[in-house]
Structure formats: structure tokens, C-alpha cells
Amino acid sequence: MLTLYNTLSRKKEPFRPLDAGNVRIYVCGPTVYDFAHIGNARPVIVFDVLYRLLRHHYGPKHVTYVRNITDVDDKINARAAEEYPKLPLNEAIRLVTEKTEKQFHEDMRALGALPPTTEPRATEHIAEMKAMIETLVKRGCAYVAEGHVLFDVASMPDYGKLSGRSLDEMIAGARVEVAPFKKDPTDFVLWKPSKPGEPSWPSPCGIAEPGRPGWHIECSAMAAAHLGETFDIHGGGIDLVFPHHENEIAQSRCANATPIMARVWMHNGFLQVEGEKMAKSLGNFVTVHQLLTGWQGYAWPGEALRFNMLRTHYRQPLDWTLVGLDTAHKTLWEWYDDLEGKPPAGGVPDAVLDALSDDLNTPKAITELHKLHSAGHWGTLRAALDFLGFSCDRAKIVRTASAEGQAQLRLNAETVGERIEARNAARKAKNFKEADRIRDELEAMGITLKDAKDPKTGEPVTTWEVAR
Ligand SMILES: [Zn+2]
């Protein structure tokens, strides 16, 4: 049996799909204006594991996984104008979104994530958004003001249920945009006017000037178009609970007159880097592309990123560290070596499935993998790794030094050579204190010395290696 933690009820619940013949899940996808950072990769990996598990429980043909692409957004407009100042804005936007979407797909493929069933684009669903907005106005849940359409939060008595916040807290805690034309500061934008040159479509609700949709309505419209008015699971990062998901629920439930939008709401925890909040201003912003091509001296294989991510339970905050990533890589490296030439056998072991079925307990599942490895149960270990999206092919997880890492290694080789010579000179002069000091110094750099004697000459020979 599968149990999942539901943000809406704040407890773990047995999962029962609305229709076992078509289990439906929606996850908020990227806004395509920049490289995906490692925090963006977390929901992709987490919900990929859920997708695989649902396919296992209900059959691959009976799961529909929708992850949207937000290709109309103010951040995209700003980036396009900045990157291609000489091009007409719409042309620049196309260049930015196409390039970013391609990069996103490449990165997520490298992380071993299966493509979703459908990846709808916001710009392909403007008609559905407009229809939903018209309905909301007709039902008295939204109003037109100065070329905008706004959702009337007061029209929904149980608004705020997902985040569990009172209206006062919402106003205080979020960057609620105060505008003179809003009836209430918490009312949010469904549609807004576009300036000349900005992406625009003919507006709904009799508004004369052209405009564009707000972000929240995009997901409501795309989810309804591809999954229906109510569906099973809606997922995303915890930062989306308020206001994005709260507003998706408000729009969908009020437009469709349904008591729920999705039955289960799942949110992955925050991600920080080396114990600090990740921010461009702090200089610790890490993109997936960077990790794959050069981070801390190495180009890391995508499978190591995936494994490192799964070592922490999805609802816990995750600290992305070099030590953690290195440990993840080392584990896979060892396992893949042992698994060479050993085919999967016996199917995915129950202990692994049980751990995953308990609210995606991936750390527990990994403990089970370690047990299989220790016991030498190669066939089942292989089957479990296949299921979790790992290739078991050592050639695919070679960790190479990045350009910066190679320069560092060359530098080390020179330094190490000089230090070894100095140490041997000290030993010859019987200055053992100095010899030991140099050895300790190198040890601190992660370099282990091995002393031996040349069998022919009897001279001391020292070799070194970088400790893993
Ligand atoms: Zn969304």
C-alpha cells in the first residue's frame, strides 16, 4: 500500500486514486529564462521517483504525469531584453525560452528523470486561461479593474487552507502587491495589460487593451486541460505552497465548482548549499549544468547528483555539500564495479518498494540497497537500481576533473613533488621532525604518501596518491 504525506491535511494518508485506470499527477515545471539550479532539480528527481513508483503500482499505461513549461512570465521578458537588447522583444523571448527549455531537458535527462507524459506550454493554453477567467468573473469570484482581472479572495470562504495562514499573515508575510485598483491587497492577478512590444493576446471580459495571463492561472488552466477538473496529486517545491498553489486551488475550485482541485498536495523541502541559503548574491548559486561540467574541480556524473539527492527524505531540508556528493559518487562507483556483468534478477525487492511506498522514504530504500550490496545479492540490487533510474554502468559515471580541477591537480603535482624532495632531504639529514611535518602537511591536503625502497638500489622511493 502506498501512503503519502498530504500538505492539505498535514498527515500521511493511504493513497487511493480517483481512477486506478488513470492516475493523474501535476507538477509545476520551470519558468524558462535561466539554467536550472540544483534546487529546481529536486522536485524533478523527487516526483520522478513517485512517477516510477506509481507506474509500478498501477502499470505504466495507467499513470499520466503532467509537468508544465512556463514560457510567459515577467522574468522571461526582463531576461530577453537584457540578453538581446537589439532584437524586438518577442523575438528575443523566443530565443531565451527555446535555449532554456533545451538546456532544461538535457540537464534533467542527465539526472535520469523520465520525460513526463505531457509537457504543456503556457503560450499554447491562452484560450483555456481566458475561458477560465471569464467563468470566474461570471461566478462572482473575480472582477475587472483598470485593464486587469483580479481574483476576489473574499469570495472564497476557505481560502488559505493549504498554507494554513490567516489573511493577515498572508498580507504580512508575502510580498503582496498593493495596488489602488485592488479591492483587497490579497486579491491576485489573473490577467494584466501588456505594454506595447511585450507579449500580448486579446484580453477576456471585454477589456479593450491586449494583455497576458498571471502565473497562477497558467497552471490551473493546463492542469484542467490535461488532467481534468479534479485529479490525484499536485506537487512542487515547498516555496510554492503560498501564494502559487493556494491561488491555483482558489482559481480551479471556484471556476470548476469543485470541492477540491487535487486530492493530495506534495511538497519537497528547501535546499541549501554547504549550510547556507543558495543565492546569487552569496556566490554559492549552483546550476545543474555547472555540476555536470565543473563544480569544485570535477565534472560530476548526473547519476551521482541523483543519488545524492535521494539520500535525504524529500520533505526534509537538503544540504548540498561536496562531501555528500563525493560520498554518493563513491558508493555508486563501488556498487557498479561489483555489479559488472551481473544482470538484474528477481524484480525489485519488497523491502525497497515498501520503503518507497511509505511516503517516498528514499533514505530507507538506500539503506536496503546497502544491505543487498553487503549480502552480495547482485541481481536484486541491480533490479532495484534499474527501477530507481540508475544505469549500473561504470563507464557512465566516470568523474572527470574539470578544466579548473585539472589546473589544480597539475599545481598539486608540482607542489607535491617539491615537498617529497624536501622531505627525503630531511630524512637523509635525520631531521625526522621536519620530515614528519611535511608528511602531515600533505596529509592535510588530502595526499597520502607511500614509502618504499627501490629493490635494485635500496634508495627510498616515495609515491603519492590523492586520498578519496
Ligand atoms: Zn504551478
Taking only the tens place, the pLDDT of each residue in 308-348 is: 999 999 999 999 999 999 999 999 999 999 999 999 999 99
CA of 251 to the centre of ligand 1 (A): 12
Higher pLDDT, 96 or 176: 96
Mean predicted confidence (pLDDT) in 71-86: 95
Nearest to 170 by CA among 240, 237, 236, 243: 243
Whole-model pTM: value is 0.87
Query: 50-59, 210-219, 271-280, 414-423: lowest mean pLDDT where?
Result: 414-423
pLDDT over 90 (residue 194): yes
DSSP code for 208? S
Which of the residue ranges 23-27, 209-213, 294-298, 375-379 would you say has the lowest mean pLDDT? 294-298
Rounded distance from Cα 125 to ligand 1 centre (Å):
14
CA–CA gap between residue 268 and residue 407 (Å, rounded): 37
Flag whether pLDDT at 172 surpasses 80: no
Separation of CA 425 and ligand 1 centre (Å)? 66
How many CA within 13 A on the CB side of residue 228? Answer: 15
Q: Name the more confident of 196 and 444.
A: 196
What separation in Å is there between the alpha carbon of 44 and the centre of ligand 1? 13
Q: Are 385 and 335 in contact (CB under 8 A)?
A: yes
Of the two residues 44 and 448, the one the predictor is more confident about is 44
Using the predicted structure, report yes or no on whether residue 89 has a pLDDT greater than 60: yes
In the predicted model, is pLDDT for residue 362 greater than 50?
A: yes
Return d(Cα 131, Cα 222) in angstroms, integer. Answer: 12
DSSP 3-state of 220: helix
What distance, in Å, lies between the first and last C-alpha atoms of the chain? 41
Mean pLDDT of 185-203: 94
Please tell me the predicted confidence (pLDDT) of residue 281. 84
Residue 468 reports pLDDT greater than 50: no
In whole angstroms, what is the distance from residue 231 CA to residue 223 CA?
Answer: 9
What per-residue confidence (pLDDT) applies to 441? 80
In the predicted model, what is the mean pLDDT of residues 234-243?
A: 95
Distance 105 CA to ligand 1 centre (A): 18
Query: What is the C-alpha R_g of the chain?
Result: 27
Dist. CA 118 → ligand 1 center (Å): 15
What pLDDT score does 284 carry?
85
At residue 171, the pLDDT reads: 65
416 C-alpha to center of ligand 1: Å? 53
Q: What is the mean pLDDT of the chain?
A: 93
State the distance from the centre of ligand 1 to the C-alpha of 27, rounded, in angstroms: 7
Which residues are bridge partners to 197 per DSSP? none
Please say whether the beta carbons of 143 and 152 come within 8 A.
yes
Q: What integer pLDDT is reported at residue 268 of this predicted model? A: 98
Counting other chains too, the contacts that 168-177 makes at CB distance below 8 Å and 24 or more residues apart are 170/242, 170/243, 173/242, 174/242, 174/243, 176/243
